[in-house]
Amino acid sequence: MRKRMRTTAVTAVAAALSAALAAPAVAAGPGGDRTGDTGDHRATARAVRAAVGDGVPGVTLRAEDRRGVWTATAGVGNLRTERPRSPHDRYRVGSITKTFVATVLLQLEAEGRLSLDDTVDSWLPGLVSGNGHDGTRITLRQLLNHTSGIYNYTADEDFGRTYFLEEGFFEHRYDTLAPEELVRVAMSHEPDFAPGAGWNYSNTNYVLAGLVIEKSTGRPYGEEIRRRVIAPLHLTGTSVPGTRTGVPGPSSRAYGKLTEDGSGPVHDVTRLNPSMASSAGEMISDSKDLNRFYRALLTGRLLPGEQLEEMTDTVAVNDRNGYGLGLMSTELSCGVTVWGHGGGIHGSTSDAVTTRDGRHSVAFNFNGDWAGDPGAVIEAEYCGD
């Protein structure tokens, strides 16, 4: 859901990226390290262990390619009991939710039920207004590729203190927030820029996208994701929790520092009401499901060719990254380009990427939000030593 909570909790909730490959996992060694250290995955194995060495409590990873499946775990899933992480762990996936939301909107476009060139105001009259925001000038496409200019509600300092820092989090972790409340937080600020005049990651865009799905279909966005994506792909570890505060098993605990600079003691932040993330980042999944989802998406199982082309038409973020419609592309140091998304939410940093042909996928999770480098894991898996 956030850019990097481990960098600063107040500006939390945005995007990330990652990747990997395939073969059987190696048995646990001393200290609970279950990372396979064989074949083409040796660099990935080292990167996973390095994340734990950097302070991440535990890592779970699954990589798949034409040669098969390779799973790895390192560190622990529970700091109190020292129980290791499992390859089957479910975890909060944060902003990976955005790819699911964008997929549903593109399906609705393919069915003729809406157009991505529709304005936000045509679907949500009067909701995007105030302090220079004007929903009559913003299209659904601009929501999905973050060119709307709409302020990111999770960057609001009061919201950050209330939901991401220690004192506020423990008082408000179980609050239920309506998506319209989240939008109102954003509307209390000026836009980042005029619609279409720039690019800036905003969780508010996807809260609005979820509301458009509901308005278009008459059903909550989570129900549409279940009907259109989770059920057809048999994603048995994936859910849209709504206001459910726990993570279904099998799962590990999630840990956070709840400070702006990532210092201080570690707290168990597993239980929370994910309505604070809404359709920008509330979903739960596991690595097997995420690989299956992105592989199906990029190979045309979920979208017609025209919509998949729209989704992969990217806006340049920097020299190596582009953002499409809920989907990010990253050119790695060895020239390989991967597609996917990443996300963070309290105590959980997740990434899932695949090659454009869907033949090489990886998904993984850190059960801590203040340490570790997901990009290093991706580089190691696709580029090796």
Cα distance between residue 229 and residue 107, in whole Å: 10
| Dihedral of alpha carbons 87, 89, 90, 96, sign | negative
Cα distance between residue 120 and residue 206, in whole Å: 12
Coil, helix or strand for 352?
strand
Cβ neighbours, 10 Å, residue 27: 7
Cα distance between residue 190 and residue 182, in whole Å: 15
- Residues labelled as active-site residues: 95
Structure tokens at 68: 């098969």
To the question of pTM greater than 0.75 for the whole model, the response is yes
Contacting residues for 318 by C-beta, under 8 A, at least 6 apart = none
What pLDDT, on a 0 to 100 scale, did the predictor assign at position 1?
Answer: 56
Cα distance between residue 214 and residue 220, in whole Å: 5
Q: What backbone phi and psi angles, to 5 degrees, belong to 54?
A: -80, -10
Residues 9-29 pLDDT 10s: 333 333 332 222 122 222 222
Cα distance between residue 163 and residue 155, in whole Å: 11
Q: What backbone phi and psi angles, to 5 degrees, belong to 345?
A: -150, 170
Cα distance between residue 322 and residue 339, in whole Å: 9
Q: How far is CA 137 from CA 94, 109, 325, 363, in A?
A: 28, 19, 18, 37
Q: What are the residue ranges in the chain where pLDDT is below 50? A: 2-39
What pLDDT, on a 0 to 100 scale, did the predictor assign at position 35?
Answer: 41
The answer to whether 233 and 275 are in contact (CB under 8 A) is no
The answer to whether 294 and 339 are in contact (CB under 8 A) is yes
Residue with tokens 């319209």: 180
